[in-house]
Amino acid sequence: MATLTLRDIKKSFGATHVLHGVDLDVTDGEMIVIVGASGCGKSTLLRIVAGLETETSGEVLIAGQSMKGLEPADRDVAMVFQNYALYPHMSVFQNMAYGLKIRGLPKDQIQHRVDEAAGLLGIGHLLQRKPRELSGGQRQRVAMGRAIVREPKLFLFDEPLSNLDAKLRVELRAEIRRLQRRLGVTSLFVTHDQVEAMTLGDRLVVMNAGRAAQIATPMEIWERPADTYVAGFIGSPSMNLLHATLEAGGAAAILDAGGLRLPFADGPRAGAAGRKLIIGIRPEHLRPGQGGLDVMVELVEPLGGESVLHGKLADGTPLTARLPGARYEDGATQLALPTESLHVFDGETGKRIEAGG
C-alpha cells in the first residue's frame, strides 16, 4: 500500500509523441481509472508506472521513492494483463506462486498465500488445473490471484475485462471493486469503457491525445466536464454538442440551428457578443415539450423503460435524446432544453466556460 505520484511524464517513440506531460497524485488505497479512446496513451502511462517502458522525461514516485532506473520487479507492483498472460504450461498454483518462488519465499508461506488468495477469489478448486482448462472468467480470476499473492504496493490493471462477455464483465467489475476496497491496495485501472470507468474509479483520468483532459471524481466529470472531449466521452449516449453564439450581455446563447435563445440559468458568461460557443446537453436531459428544438426524428430505439431518439435539427446537426416511456414515433417533434442542465464550452478551444468566466 502506497501513494503514487507522476510528475510531468512525457514519452515519445522516435518522432511520435505519445504523452505530453501527465501529472497525477494518487493517495493511499485509491482506485484511479485511466480512461480514453485507443491510442490516447493510457496503456503507455500504465506501462511506464510498471517500468515496462521508460519515460522520456518526468518522474514516477511510488511511496515517495523515485523509481528512476528500477526494473519492474524492484518496483513492487503487480499487473493484470488484458489477455491474462498466464503461463500455459504451469498449473494455476504454479502460475500464482511463480513470482513468490523467484523471490525465494519459503514453501509453506507460498502455499499459505496462494490458498488465501484462491479462497478470496473462489478458485480454490482450480489450483491443479492448466490455464487452457479454464473459462475466460476463471482465467481472469487467476490473473488477479497472481497479483494479489504478491501483496504489492500497487495494482496495475491493463484493460483486464475487455476479453470477457458482457455479463461476466459486469460481475467481475463489481468483484474487482470489492476486492480492491477490502485489500486497500492503491490501484491504476486502464480501460476504454466509460461505464467501467464510472463504476470502478474513486477518481478518473480522462486521457485525450497524450494529455490528461480531466482528473476528477466520476460524478464531477459527469456534471462538469472540462472540455468537449470529456463531455462527449463520458455518458451514454454521448452528450449533444450544438454550435451557438453569445448574446450581447452574455446572459444567453443563440443556437446556430434555428436561432433558439437559451438563457444561462447559473449566470452570464464573459465575452463579446457573437463569441463562438458550443452548448452541451445530455440526451437524458432533453424532454418532450413545446417551445424547444425542432427535431426531425429518424430512428427510435425502445429500451423498455425509456427510448433513445436519433434525429436531426433543421441544419442537419444530429441530435440524440433519451426519453422516458416508449411511445415515440419517427417524424417532426419538439424537444425542450432545461436551461439548468446546459454545459457551455468555448467554440474554439472546446474548454468549459463557467458563469462569469
Q: Which residues bind another protein (CB under 8 A)?
A: 50-52, 71-73, 77-79, 81-85, 87-89, 98-99, 102-103, 132, 146
Burial degree of 325 (CB within 10 A; 0-12, 13-18, 19+): exposed
For another protein, give the closer residue by CB, 42 or 146: 146
Closest approach of Cβ 287 to another protein, in Å?
48
For another protein, give the closer residue by CB, 49 or 120: 49
Closest approach of Cβ 162 to another protein, in Å?
13
Contact between residue 48 and residue 9 where contact means Cβ atoms under 8 Å apart:
yes
Q: Which amino acid makes up residue 213?
A: A
Closest approach of Cβ 155 to another protein, in Å?
11
For another protein, give the closer residue by CB, 78 or 344: 78
Closest approach of Cβ 217 to another protein, in Å?
29
Q: Cα separation of 258 and 176, whole Å?
A: 48
For another protein, give the closer residue by CB, 78 or 293: 78
For another protein, give the closer residue by CB, 71 or 329: 71
Closest approach of Cβ 81 to another protein, in Å?
5
Contacting residues for 192 by C-beta, under 8 A, at least 6 apart: 35, 36, 37, 38, 42, 159, 162
E-strand stretches of the chain: 4-13, 16-26, 31-35, 57-62, 65-66, 77-80, 154-158, 186-191, 203-208, 211-216, 240-246, 252-255, 261-263, 276-281, 287-302, 306-312, 318-324, 331-336, 343-346
Closest approach of Cβ 21 to another protein, in Å?
25
Question: Which is it for the CA torsion 165, 166, 168, 174, positive or negative?
Answer: positive
For another protein, give the closer residue by CB, 187 or 208: 187
Helices (H), 80-154: 92-102, 107-121, 136-149
Residue with cell 488445473: 129
Closest approach of Cβ 310 to another protein, in Å?
39
Q: How many CB atoms lie within 10 A of CB 306?
A: 14
Q: CA triplet 112, 114, 119: central angle to 5 degrees?
A: 95
Q: In what order do the strands lie in the sheet with 287-302?
A: 318-324, 306-312, 287-302, 331-336
For another protein, give the closer residue by CB, 77 or 286: 77
Closest approach of Cβ 153 to another protein, in Å?
13
Contacting residues for 72 by C-beta, under 8 A, at least 6 apart: 50, 51, 52
Contact between residue 68 and residue 56 where contact means Cβ atoms under 8 Å apart:
no
For another protein, give the closer residue by CB, 99 or 347: 99
